[in-house]
């Protein structure tokens, strides 16, 4: 998918402004936009060009703005008036709305725009596009590049997550103690702690099969990815247990990158 431009309309005649994405996919032009109807969020997709879409050109010319992807993500459109301050916290600024819309596009969470007008037109909708997960040097950041999203995890959760990223084959919970040296190295790198005894004490809750710490960390990591990406995409990124009892991340190996 190649994003060609971002369009934004501002508040007009009691109608909230909108964020639109124009893009190309397998040689065909598409657009998608996010709309709130009775305070409920909806995502629409159409084929062709946004300039020909009534939901866009209904807004007068002085209410329409065009930006590059980077400009909106950097907040350069956040000063535009899309809705009143009363609703802004629930609605979001253009940069926030754009990130959410891109994730909806990548996950296929879209309704054909013609259905919005009472009839349905069939065309190809990209159903799922997985982002590479990129771990930067010294484990400082975990970034989903194509989703323009950073995953923030507290040290023990981050240690566990990075460990499973490094073991796509999967590791049983009961076998974690066999990897204590590797877990220690990861945790030490993240926290910059040099006292190995204290580090191992911190990690003991994860490797203790009788405790709840491991399950709690797995559950919190899962929730964080679902909150960020929605369940359809998130299931490829969080840690889950297989039928054979190994815990693993189902993301394809070629989508995992360590500096």
Range(s) within the chain of domains with CATH label 1.10.10 = 133-258
Contact 31, 81 (CB under 8 A): no
First vs last C-alpha separation in the chain: 25
Closest alpha carbon to 159 in 134, 142, 178: 142
Mention every residue, 6+ apart, whose C-beta is less than 8 A from residue 215. Answer: none
The pTM of the full predicted model, rounded to 2 decimals, is 0.75
pLDDT digits (tens, 9 = 90+) for 57-89: 999 999 999 999 999 999 999 999 998 888 887
Share of the chain above pLDDT 90, in %: 59
In DSSP terms, 5 is beta-bridged to 22
State the Cα–Cα distance between residues 52 and 48, nearest whole angstrom: 8
Count of CA atoms in the C-beta half-sphere (13 A) of 125:
19
Residue 205 pLDDT exceeds 90:
no
- Report the topology of domain 133-258: Arc Repressor Mutant, subunit A (1.10.10)
Q: What is the pLDDT of residue 119?
A: 41
């Amino acid at each position: 998918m190649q994003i060609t431009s971002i369009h934004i309309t501002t508040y007009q005649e009691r109608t909230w402004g909108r964020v639109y994405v124009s893009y190309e996919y397998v040689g065909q032009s598409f657009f998608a936009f996010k709309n709130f109807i009775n305070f409920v969020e909806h995502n629409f997709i159409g084929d062709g060009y946004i300039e020909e879409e009534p939901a866009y050109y209904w807004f007068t010319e002085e209410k329409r703005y065009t930006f590059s992807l980077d400009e909106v993500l950097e907040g350069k459109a956040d000063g535009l008036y899309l809705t009143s301050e009363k609703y802004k916290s629930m609605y979001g600024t253009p940069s926030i709305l754009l990130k959410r819309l891109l994730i909806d596009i990548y996950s296929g969470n879209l309704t054909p725009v013609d259905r919005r007008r009472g009839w349905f037109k069939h065309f190809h909708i990209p159903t799922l596009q997985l982002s590479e997960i990129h771990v930067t040097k010294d484990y400082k950041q975990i970034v989903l590049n194509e989703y323009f999203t950073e995953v923030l995890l507290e040290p023990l959760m981050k240690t566990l997550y990075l460990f499973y990223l490094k073991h796509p084959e999967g590791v049983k919970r009961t076998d974690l103690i066999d990897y204590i040296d590797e877990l220690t190295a990861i945790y030490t790198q993240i926290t910059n702690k040099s006292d190995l005894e204290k580090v191992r004490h911190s990690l003991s809750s994860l490797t203790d099969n009788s405790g709840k710490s491991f399950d709690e960390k797995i559950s919190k990591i899962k929730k964080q990815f679902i909150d960020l990406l929605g369940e359809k995409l998130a299931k490829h990124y969080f840690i889950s247990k297989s039928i054979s009892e190994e815990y693993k991340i189902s993301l394809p190996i070629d989508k995992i990158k360590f500096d």
